[in-house]
Amino acid sequence: MSLSSLQRGLEILSEVTRSGPMRVDDIASALDIPVSTAYRYVKLLKESDFLYDIDGVYSAGLRISSRDEQTQKQHIVEMAASTMTRLRQLTNETVILTVRVQAAALCLERLPAGRTSMLSFYRGSVRPLYAGASATALLAYAPPDVIASVRTGSMRRFTALTPSSERLGQILPTIRSNGYAVSEGEVDPFMVGVAAPVFRHGHCICALSVAGRQSSIQGQRLDDVVEQVRSAAAELGPRLESDAGSGAWMTEEGW
């Protein structure tokens, strides 16, 4: 007797949760099912936010996070709220809070500017770590094995300006040297992103970003936004080091 649709879906979720990020053909092989069947179930699970997809590699999605993880996500958003609000008032641009989840950047919060946004990054969405300031600011401080995995993996080009692996190898040391990341049109055409890592006891916990149109963020205004973002990140860091912020978000290193 064949498994029900519910049972099949649960098997796939269990396998991805147990084994970590997987491609559809790997899921099919592990469960001994046709690739076409695996694709059909994975598509449904992705549409329901039980799985997310980064360049054809699927990971456990937001809807099956543990209660502790959900609490951590909510806590860090609350801790960052006042800083993000002030940064949006200063820049009049969209402000984004991201964290790293394995080899992806997760948008925990987004405060949009008061006009139509061209950004494809929104609350709850994920993005590969190799493109966009809000992602590369996290990748620059990720463990070496994560960086190596990203650079040797599939790096889909969103635009002509999406970094290659070679270019990423030049970008990451610059981010670490400068303490911030700037991207121009790497994911969304004609958009500029400025991001700074936020540290707790020397470990990168999240990144604060400002994003807007290239026509708005350029020249001296770009320099001003860089300083405003860095200042906001420096303000949030000590808050996360306090007793109240100690459980706001835990990295995969488990410290």
Q: Which domains are seen in the chain, by residue range? A: 5-64 (1.10.10.10), 67-241 (3.30.450.40)
Mean confidence (pLDDT) of the chain: 86
Determine the pLDDT at residue 115. 63
Spatial separation of the C-alpha atoms in residues 208 and 121, rounded to whole Å: 13
> Residue 252's closest CA among 93, 108, 72, 89?
72
Between 153 and 181, where is the model more confident? 181
Q: Which residues contact 203 (CB under 8 A, 6 or more apart)?
A: 141, 251, 253, 255
Determine the pLDDT at residue 247. 63
Q: Where are the beta strands (DSSP E) in 45-133?
A: 51-54, 57-60, 94-101, 104-111, 126-128
Determine the pLDDT at residue 41. 87
Spatial separation of the C-alpha atoms in residues 47 and 217, rounded to whole Å: 34
Q: Please say whether the beta carbons of 155 and 164 come within 8 A.
A: yes
Amino acid present at 167 = R
Determine the pLDDT at residue 255. 35
Q: Which tens digit of pLDDT belongs to each residue from 152-168?
A: 988 989 999 999 999 99
DSSP summary character for residue 123: T
Q: How far does CA 64 lie from the centroid of its chain? A: 17
Arithmetic mean of pLDDT, 175-194:
96
Determine the pLDDT at residue 165. 96
Determine the pLDDT at residue 254. 39
Spatial separation of the C-alpha atoms in residues 108 and 96, rounded to whole Å: 8
Q: Which tens digit of pLDDT belongs to each residue from 82-137?
A: 999 999 999 999 999 999 988 889 999 999 987 656 788 888 888 999 999 999 99
Which residues are registered as beta bridge partners of 209? 96, 195
Q: Which tens digit of pLDDT belongs to each residue from 74-95?
A: 688 999 999 999 999 999 999 9
Arithmetic mean of pLDDT, 169-195:
96
Q: How far does CA 42 lie from the centroid of its chain? A: 21
CA angle 204, 178, 216 (to 5 degrees): 100
At 144, is the pLDDT very low, low, confident or very high (cuts 50, 70, 90)? very high
Name residue, tokens 């969405």: 125
- pLDDT of 49 strictly over 80: no
Residue by residue, DSSP assigns 26-49 as HHHHHHT--HHHHHHHHHHHHHTT
Q: Is 20 helix (H, G, I), strand (E, B) or coil?
A: coil
Q: Please say whether the beta carbons of 200 and 241 come within 8 A.
A: yes
> Residue 198's closest CA among 80, 110, 86?
80
Query: 82-104 burial string, b = 16+ CB within 10 Å, else e?
Result: ebbeebbebbebbbbbbbbbbbb
Spatial separation of the C-alpha atoms in residues 10 and 152, rounded to whole Å: 31
